[in-house]
Amino acid sequence: MAVDVVLEARGLVKDYRRARAVDGLDLVVHAGERVALLGPNGAGKTTTLLMLLGVVTPDAGTVSVCGRPIAGDRSHAAEEVGFAAGYLPLAERLRVREYLRLYGNLYGLADPGPAIEAGLVRFRVEHLGDAMGTELSSGQRTLVGIVRATLHRPRVLVLDEPTASLDPDVSRRVREGLTAICEEDGTALVVTSHDMAEVERLCERVVFISGGRVVADGTSAEVAERFGHTDLEGVFLHLADDRPSTLGAQQTEHLA
């Protein structure tokens, strides 16, 4: 795996009217890594994700993609980052290939056709190429959304709950396709999820956030052991039950 840094956040802070959502968060992701960004509701995970994507501007700190700050250069980030989520709408009055071609053109691809076909095959949905958006199940919409997000071969792929409510077969296709992208193209994957079992299958590194800070960073086994649990679900429940103020400074150490 390449060791070059493709996503770097330093000292991220974001305040809202009543509380500090993110409090001095650091995160470094390397090419080819599969990283899960985890935390209970209210931990600051969503705000962090939005700052990493350049959608929300931090009150302090920086985010860089492939060595270039997002601030003032969001077009560069858009070229290097892909984003997909199961809740994003799909054009219902377009056929799948038409929808993907539209986005391929927006990404600046001179001929999106080969990338579209390769993506459909990778996630085993080539038979859906001529289907209308209205004909797709929720799982099929998720798969097509991931194909869309990877057409331009991004250096970083950010996915919000990619396997939520999917049946086991579709979840497996998502995992296998994403793993292939990371291994073959060197794409870094950043995933948020509440499905700890799915995270353990897909990601080689997990980053837990609580109280707007990173409280653990390492492999699933390392993080679980650090908190005295046997799996990530135990860690998740531990953090959900704990108030941020009770998390000692010793728990903020990185394990990786």
3-state SS of 79-112 is HHEEEEECCCCCCCCCEHHHHHHHHHHHCCCCCC
Average pLDDT over residues 55-69: 93
Count Cβ neighbours within 10 Å for each residue of 96-118 and write b for 16 or more, e otherwise.
bbebbbebbeebebeebeebbee
Average predicted confidence (pLDDT) for the chain: 89
pLDDT at 250 over 80: no
134-173 residue pLDDT tens? 999 888 899 999 999 999 999 999 999 888 778 888 889 8
Residue with tokens 């270039």: 68
Q: E strands within 104-204?
A: 156-160, 188-192
221-245 residue pLDDT tens? 999 999 999 999 999 998 888 754 4
Percent of the chain with pLDDT over 70: 93
pLDDT at 119 over 80: yes
Residue 180 contacts by C-beta under 8 Å, 6 or more apart in sequence? 122
Distance CA 248, CA 40 (A): 17
Residue 137 contacts by C-beta under 8 Å, 6 or more apart in sequence? none
Residue 2 is predicted with a pLDDT of: 43
pLDDT at 188 over 90: yes
Distance CA 35, CA 184 (A): 16
pTM for the whole structure: 0.88
76-98 residue pLDDT tens? 778 899 999 878 888 889 999 99
Distance CA 191, CA 52 (A): 12
Residue 84 is predicted with a pLDDT of: 93
Distance CA 195, CA 193 (A): 5
All structural domains of the chain, each given as residue ranges with its CATH number in brackets, are: 5-252 (3.40.50.300)
Average pLDDT over residues 101-112: 94
